[in-house]
Amino acid sequence: MDIKNIKKEFPIFKQKINGKPLVYLDSANSSQKPKMVIDKISNFYETEFSNVGRSVHTLAVKATNRFEATRDKVQKYLNAKHREEIIFTKGATEAINLVASSYGKKYINKGDEILITELEHHSNYVPWDFLRTEKGAVIKFAQVNEDGDVEIEEIKKLITSKTKIIAITHISNVTGAVLPISNIVDLAKGKNIPVLIDGTQGAPHSAIDMQKIGCDFYAISCHKMYGPNGLGVLYMKKKWVDDLPPYQGGGGMINEVKKEGITFADAYTKFEAGTMQTAEVVAFAESLNFIEGLGIRKIASHENEVLQYGLEKLKKNNSVNIIGDPKERGSVLCFTLKDIHPHDIATILDDDGVAIRAGHHCCQILHDKLGIPATARASIGVYNDKEDIDKLSEAIQKCQKVFQN
């Protein structure tokens, strides 16, 4: 894989930051966009724009066809059985809120239990807290072990007859732990418990096959998959598409509206209220073309090679404390630096054009468990290489010198 040529596909790398070449190590936050995605958005607005599913004029029909063609492409990419199982949302956050609201409204009552983990991003905790507040549900947290993993046995021991749903991350955005999601799903199936997977960190870095995973819900954030902002995908198994009530009301999700009452549209349409993100959906097809053109397994292999190089490089610096040592790690490298606050680390690294994230990464529960308020995080995308890691290491050493003086 020739990374230098791949980097050329991303216009943002043509610029310099503070006079230095950009080293972007913040893909777990949001990935950069290849030119084919940017061009598709621009071209769509210039030549093809119309709202979808409303009008019958030429532009509207063409836009609707492109929109639905993307749904078909996502179905194929995820190996979903039915196109109706693909629902477009404003992001993974809305996707999880949709499930919490629709499933929770119908199936979760006072005393019922929702099982999540201490690794969860706030997006996979706060929506369930709403149910805890509104309905008196109970949230149970599977604990993280000292390596930053959540073991299958920890999940198993927390399941009771009151467990109504298991909601877990695919890959931690802090420890990088890859959870045994297929094993968890198999365990849950045996007890007739639905499983939601927060795939925001999983989908950009690994092959996702809904038939193999077998989960009920899988939430994707498109802007982390080299795609547009403001767009997410929710995979929802067809039995739930048919069964669950709508999440929001508005245009496009209705069948018939009368003064006496309303009937809702069938299938996925009932979950896509209002004007959808047409250009973003159309452009996301190009994001998938980009990923498929390289091959997701080749991407994963390349990123793992860079990650392992990064772990080895940073471990040589005795002042660097790497967060977590999971059995299998995704493309995330969180760390602290002795006596230097992560925000200061990120600020000084930015002077060298090295972009990382600092903070609790929307994972305060986990940081509380670790006993630290914040971490610095370098996260890897397809455009990163070992040279980027070298520059990260050099910038960290410069940061140390600044605070020694």
> What is the tens place of the pLDDT at every residue in 317-373?
999 999 999 999 999 999 999 999 999 999 999 999 999 999 999 999 999 999 999
Cα–Cα distance for residue pair 95/93, rounded to 1 Å: 5
**Beta strand pairing status for 23-24 and 354-355?**
parallel
List phi, psi (to 5°) of 175. -85, -15
Structure tokens at 112: 């019922």
Query: Which residue do the tokens 């040529």 mark?
Result: 5
Q: Which domain holds residue 256?
A: 38-292
399 is catalytic: no
Catalytic residue among 222, 362, 363, 399: 362
Number of domains in the chain: 2
Quickly state the pLDDT bin for 1 (edges 50, 70, 90).
low
Mean pLDDT of 5-15: 95
Per-residue pLDDT, 74: 98
> In this structure, is residue 32 part of a structural domain?
no
> In this structure, is residue 245 part of a structural domain?
yes
155 and 73 fall within a common domain = yes
**What CATH number has the domain bearing residue 397?**
3.90.1150.10
> In this structure, is residue 172 part of a structural domain?
yes
194 and 314 fall within a common domain = no
Structure tokens at 353: 């054009």
Cα–Cα distance for residue pair 117/181, rounded to 1 Å: 12
The helix (H) or strand (E) run that includes residue 163 is: strand 163-169
**Beta strand pairing status for 320-322 and 332-337?**
antiparallel
The per-residue pLDDT for range 222-250, each reduced to its tens digit, is: 999 999 999 999 999 999 999 999 999 99
Q: How many helices (H) and strands (E) would you count in the chain? A: 14, 17
Per-residue pLDDT, 235: 98
176 and 217 fall within a common domain = yes
| Among candidate residues 292, 319, 348, the one where a domain is terminated | 292
> In this structure, is residue 397 part of a structural domain?
yes
250 and 332 fall within a common domain = no
Please calculate the CA angle 201-355-234 and round it to the nearest 5 degrees. 20
329 and 250 fall within a common domain = no
Q: For residue 5, is pLDDT > 80?
A: yes
Per-residue pLDDT, 267: 86
**What CATH number has the domain bearing residue 264?**
3.40.640.10
| Among candidate residues 234, 263, 292, the one where a domain is terminated | 292
Q: Say if pTM beats, i.e. exceeds, 0.85.
A: yes
